[in-house]
Amino acid sequence: MSELPLYSMIIDGKPVLAATTFDVINPASGAAFARVAAGDATHVDAAVAAARAAFPGWAALPDGERSRLIGALAEVLQANMPELMRLVTLETGKPQDGLNHVGAGMEVGGAIAWTQATSQLALPVEVVQDNAEARVEVHRKPLGVVGSITPWNWPLMIAIWHIMPALRAGNTVVLKPSELTPVTTARFVELANAVLPPGVLNLVTGAAGSAVGPAMTTHPGIEKIVFTGSTATGRKIMGNAAATLKRLTLELGGNDAGIVLPDVDVKAVAPKLFAAAFHNNGQTCACLKRLYVHADMYDELCAELVALARAVKVGDGFDPASELGPIQNRMQLEKVEAIAADAHRAGGQFLCGGERLPGPGYFYAPTIVVGLDEGSRLVDEEPFGPILPVIKYSDVDEVIVRANRNSNGLGGSIWARDLVRAAALASRLECGTVWVNEHGAVQPDAPFGGIKQSGIGVEFGLHGLAEFTSIQTIKVMQD
């Protein structure tokens, strides 16, 4: 048996190993395909020291030079796209192409697009007064060292969402990827350090339960934490950050509702709804996770969704025919199974799916469930897997109230032909982003973030870039 490839940490521009390693599992096979250095709190200390040493020089670079270097990182991603796509599929299981082209190609392509777009952002000086008495300017200044903690569902793209605005604003970064999917990120950071000055972008990897995450969220040398992941972990991070008053951007869990009005063309809208709910196997924060359908077309739409679920190809991500891959890890698979079992007990009717698929790996059949309402786990909780409850309603005003009753508030959608009515209803949904006739589509120039238990702060565009800065007001008296 050949030795598994080993991925190191990157601290101060150099590869760093640790006393031990941990395995990374391919979810399509359940077998290890790589080993990664198992860092600890001492590595966090070293990475923060390197980032703090690099900060003055990076922050002092002319704005155009930082923009150029971030643009060069987009070129690095582009030049290494095939390798990065392969690593994404190995560690996440997602197909190279995927359902509606949402797969490893989109992940790396999205990383390129976000890097390019972020390189062009700028926060100019704002002049609030300029007269004979005084000139008052508002400047945006980098914070210092930013700590980034990323999840397993979109490991490279979400790392890019964290890293690039932090760097663009003049901060330096210490990055901790999920222990389940550290490989693509480790490779990117290695490549990036051939472009960036040493210490500007550092990577510390930690095994499950390691001290790396807590060491970052409590570290006095880190000024801000940006985290994407579960609400439960977000609460712990917020508590840890309190002692040092760290700034936070937390993009947490979602349980997005989609509401289908009775004027839609069912056959036209069904594939869009299916893709919104099942892309990446439902393992996206802003997937459609609760589908409310008007009674007038409820049965027809359910039948269309079931036909799509039965036809979709589930398999290994390297099979060109595969549209959906496995659930990323065994723990998440078991959570989906537990929620499905609860749905059975609550009287849910499984129109299709509801079981693991045979063979190795963490494959689960795309599942449509009816007959449930609020109060069941499948409706109230985020399953983060390929299982969708379809819920009947008859009164539009009532269903808005029902959708808003959930403690999450990341995204939501209205599906209708009457766009004026749809937009009016969209404004009544309590969530950070509302889509009309699509769901989950984000873009690098539009802010994205949650309310309620779905997070704090926003990402993307000028609003997201501003979150990596502090404000300094300068008043110059003119006499």
The CA distance from 345 to 124, in Å, is 57
Q: What is the DSSP letter of 478?
A: -
Q: Positive or negative CA dihedral for 287, 290, 291, 294?
A: negative
Backbone angles phi and psi of 439, in degrees to 5:
-155, 130
Write out the two tokens for 275.
């893709």
Q: How many CA atoms lie within 13 A of 163 on its CB side?
A: 31
Catalytic residue among 107, 179, 223, 285: 285
Write out the two tokens for 53.
């040493």
Three-state secondary structure call for residue 203: strand
Backbone angles phi and psi of 459, in degrees to 5:
-120, 165
Q: Which of 281, 301, 297 is nearest to 289 (CA)?
A: 281
Task: Report DSSP letters for 128-190, one per residue.
Answer: EEESSSEEEEEEEEE-SEEEEE--SSSHHHHHHHHHHHHHHTT-EEEEE--TTS-HHHHHHHH
Write out the two tokens for 384.
């983060």
The CA distance from 140 to 473, in Å, is 9
Give me the helices (H) in 279-395, please.
298-311, 330-345, 377-380
Burial group, residue 80, by CB count within 10 angstroms (0-12, 13-18, 19+):
middle
Alpha carbon distances (Å) from 336 to 296, 333, 341: 30, 5, 9
Question: What element of type H or E holds 409?
Answer: strand 408-409
Catalytic residue among 107, 251, 304, 467: 251
Write out the two tokens for 157.
């793209």
Instruction: Please answer whether residues 147 and 215 qualify as being in contact, where contact means their C-beta atoms are separated by less than 8 angstroms.
Output: no
Alpha carbon distances (Å) from 302 to 65, 157, 271, 293, 367: 54, 33, 12, 9, 11
Active site residue 179: no
The CA distance from 427 to 435, in Å, is 10
Beta bridge partners of 293: 260, 392
The CA distance from 179 to 40, in Å, is 13
Active site residue 285: yes
Q: Do the bridges between strand 411-415 and strand 256-260 make them parallel or antiparallel, or are there none, so unpaired?
A: parallel
Residues 6 or more apart in contact with residue 127 via CB below 8 angstroms = 135, 136, 137, 138
The CA distance from 379 to 122, in Å, is 41
Catalytic residues: 251, 285
